[in-house]
Amino acid sequence: MENQNDTAITPGMQEYINQSDRIRAERTNYINSEVKKWRFDTIAVHGLYSVQDALNFHQGAIIEPAFLSSSQAYRDSDEMAAALAYKIPTWCYSRIANPSTYYYEWTLALLEGYGFSGETSCCSTSSGMSAIFSAVTPFLTVKRRDEPINFVATAQCYGGTFQQFTVRLMKERQIECRWVVDATDIDEWASKIDGNTRFLYGELPSNPQLGFFDIAQVADLAHSHELPLIVDSTIATPALLRPLCHGADIVVQSATKSLTSSGFGICGAVISRKPITANLEEAALRDDFAFNIKLLQNRDLGPNLHPMQAILTLNDIRTLRSKMDLMSRNTMQVAKFLQDHPKVERVEYLGLKNHKLHELASKYMWLVDAEHDELYQKPVNRYGHLMSFCVAGGIEPARRFFDSLQRIWRATDLGRIKSVATIPAISTHQQQGEEARKMAHVPGNMVRLCVGAEHPDDIIADLDQALHKA
């Protein structure tokens, strides 16, 4: 991932560099003296888009403008040379950088870094899948074609992740993925690491089984081998869990989901701490991983986010905390109803007291700033709006139940403001086959339900009538 950078600095370029150093210093000062002191909701609403920015650069627009321009024009060749050598901040070409995606990146970096003492940065991506691919790729370089390399990952993960790891990496590139079947067993993680391991990867809570693991414990294990821990924290969102605060090095988000609860589009992000623990040759990647994959690797691969999408997502993120609170509470009510229903075999929801991972999840999943919320005035656990359950009697009744839903949407989707359900075995986890579904605990009668912001009584009524038809 080398940047061929042999540009000589001319006096004209130096002037541009000095000018942008001043602007960068002002920004750092603004972040440290203002933004870092705000509560989560204020960061979610404003991010780095300030009144000053609006008046100086954006005609006073109170909402971040959607910059649809493919590229930026320069005053002269000195400015162009400085920009393309990355000596000054630049919007040179929208595949590499764009003002709208810049605000998206800063909002996510700040929210994932909320409560974390160090610095964070973010690389926006076109989807959650490209976020995962962007995050793992730098660790998979080899010096020889036949160099054996591996990584260790939780078997309980999103179906698309399973496909990316097994087909694109294992089958097509002979990179071994070592699946951890019981992610709560630290000895199983440890037993899979050797001198050729490049990183540890975990999804939590996992989609759809609600798998969980002890982040701090796994991060310590990774670091004792000088390896990074990458966490897919899509289901929790930073409103409920911020893995960087617990030792993770890199977080990947399918911002498509609860972060863009409106359902307007596909997008992703890689957020990292500075520096990450990693056995990487390039110091730049260790020092500022997300920023440098954005400027180097992703410039060359091109999985960039569309600026219009960045604005749509920013708009959804502004109310993230209160939405996650409301939808988590609704889901809790629905989970309790399903748990007592005779036509339901098993309910997987981390908020249920009798769930085997309830205690562990309760250590990590907290509604951010509840202690500063006049409604609560103390820390409160919230477990998100994803749950799954098995319909009694097997696949046929599960299908009949599913087909009878009237208010709840049948779709391969989650994280919506509207309740959505799917049967993972015939949708998200269809490609991976029966055996892999068994390893990941995804039986054919499992229904994944993501409860939205409707009144829970209406969702419960819909579930009840459909269960009677099961």
C-alpha 155, offset from chain centre: 18
Of 192, 242, 257, 323, the residue at the interface with ligand PLP (CB under 6 A) is 257
Residues 6+ away with beta carbon under 8 Å from 228: 139, 199, 200, 222, 249, 250, 276, 277, 278
Query: By CB under 6 A, is residue 129 in contact with ligand PLP?
Result: yes
Query: By CB under 6 A, is residue 162 in contact with ligand PLP?
Result: no
Beta bridge partners of 121: 272
Query: By CB under 6 A, is residue 160 in contact with ligand PLP?
Result: yes
Residue 95 CB, nearest approach to ligand PLP (Å): 18
Whose Cβ is closer to ligand PLP: residue 231's or residue 276's?
231
Residues 36-95 binding ligand PLP (CB under 6 A) are: none
Residue 440 CB, nearest approach to ligand PLP (Å): 13
Query: By CB under 6 A, is residue 272 in contact with ligand PLP?
Result: no
Distance CA 235, CA 85 (A): 38
Whose Cβ is closer to ligand PLP: residue 251's or residue 460's?
251
Segment lying near ligand PLP (by CB under 6 A), choices 69-77, 124-132, 344-352, 418-426: 124-132
Residue 132 CB, nearest approach to ligand PLP (Å): 6
Segment lying near ligand PLP (by CB under 6 A), choices 173-181, 250-258, 345-353, 431-439: 250-258
Distance CA 421, CA 388 (A): 9
Of 234, 277, 304, 313, the residue at the interface with ligand PLP (CB under 6 A) is 234
Segment lying near ligand PLP (by CB under 6 A), choices 33-41, 97-105, 251-259, 350-358: 251-259
Q: The tokens 């009840």 sit on which residue?
A: 464
Whose Cβ is closer to ligand PLP: residue 90's or residue 272's?
272
Picking from 93, 104, 33, 29, the residue whose alpha carbon sits closest to that of residue 65 is: 104
Of 266, 305, 367, 387, the residue at the interface with ligand PLP (CB under 6 A) is 266
Q: The tokens 């990584």 sit on which residue?
A: 151
Helix (H) or strand (E) holding 204: none
Residues 202-221 binding ligand PLP (CB under 6 A) are: 203, 207
Quick one: the chain helix, strand, coil %, rounded to 5? Answer: 45, 15, 45
Give the binding-site size for ligand PLP (rule: CB under 6 A): 16
Whose Cβ is closer to ligand PLP: residue 400's or residue 441's?
441
Residue 149 CB, nearest approach to ligand PLP (Å): 23
Distance CA 447, CA 100 (A): 37
Picking from 277, 156, 253, 170, the residue whose alpha carbon sits closest to that of residue 205 is: 156
Distance CA 9, CA 433 (A): 57
Position with the least CB separation from ligand PLP: 128
Of 232, 249, 325, 462, the residue at the interface with ligand PLP (CB under 6 A) is 232
Residue 270 CB, nearest approach to ligand PLP (Å): 12
**Residue 32 burial (CB count, 10 A):** 11
Query: By CB under 6 A, is residue 98 in contact with ligand PLP?
Result: no
Segment lying near ligand PLP (by CB under 6 A), choices 44-52, 217-225, 227-235, 369-377: 227-235
Q: What are the phi and psi torsion angles at 163 (to 5°)?
A: -65, -45
Picking from 165, 145, 146, 147, the residue whose alpha carbon sits closest to that of residue 155 is: 165
Task: Indicate the pairing of strand 176-180 with strand 446-450.
Answer: unpaired
Whose Cβ is closer to ligand PLP: residue 90's or residue 134's?
134
Residue 114 CB, nearest approach to ligand PLP (Å): 20
Residue 255 CB, nearest approach to ligand PLP (Å): 7
Whose Cβ is closer to ligand PLP: residue 303's or residue 351's?
303
Of 90, 256, 298, 304, the residue at the interface with ligand PLP (CB under 6 A) is 256
Whose Cβ is closer to ligand PLP: residue 47's or residue 160's?
160
Apex 247 CA angle, 244 and 249, nearest 5: 60
**Residue 89 burial (CB count, 10 A):** 14
Distance CA 286, CA 443 (A): 40
Distance CA 379, CA 367 (A): 7
- Quick check: helix, strand or coil at residue 240? coil
Query: By CB under 6 A, is residue 254 in contact with ligand PLP?
Result: yes
Query: By CB under 6 A, is residue 128 in contact with ligand PLP?
Result: yes
Residue 271: Cβ-neighbour burial (10 angstroms; 0-12, 13-18, 19+): buried
- Quick check: helix, strand or coil at residue 307? helix
Whose Cβ is closer to ligand PLP: residue 257's or residue 273's?
257
Report the interface residues with ligand PLP, using CB under 6 A: 127-129, 158, 160-161, 203, 207, 232, 234-235, 254, 256-257, 266, 268
